[in-house]
Amino acid sequence: MPGQAPDLAAPPAGCRFAPRCSHATDQCRTQEPTRVEADEFHSVACWVRPDLQEKTHAVRQ
């Protein structure tokens, strides 16, 4: 991913990747996405992926 990694002492609001992500939306810049299990060995936190939005919505309810 191009650009500078965020300052971990003062991370940006929302998703930490939003400032460098070409797919970032307003939601990405204001709300930190919920981490969900993608498979046995991986987890993902992303508002852009529709399949993850459904999973995170179910987790938040």
Give 55 or 27, the one with higher predicted confidence: 27
pLDDT at 52: 57
Cα–Cα distances in angstroms (integers) from residue 55 to residues 2, 6, 19, 47, in the given order: 28, 26, 24, 11
Q: How far apart are CA 57 and CA 31, in angstroms?
A: 13
Check whether 60 has a pLDDT greater than 70: no
pTM of the model: 0.64
Q: What share of the chain in percent tops pLDDT 70?
A: 79
Summarize pLDDT for 28-51 with one digit per residue, the tens.
Answer: 999 999 888 888 888 888 988 766
Among 49, 60, 18, 14, CA closest to 33: 14
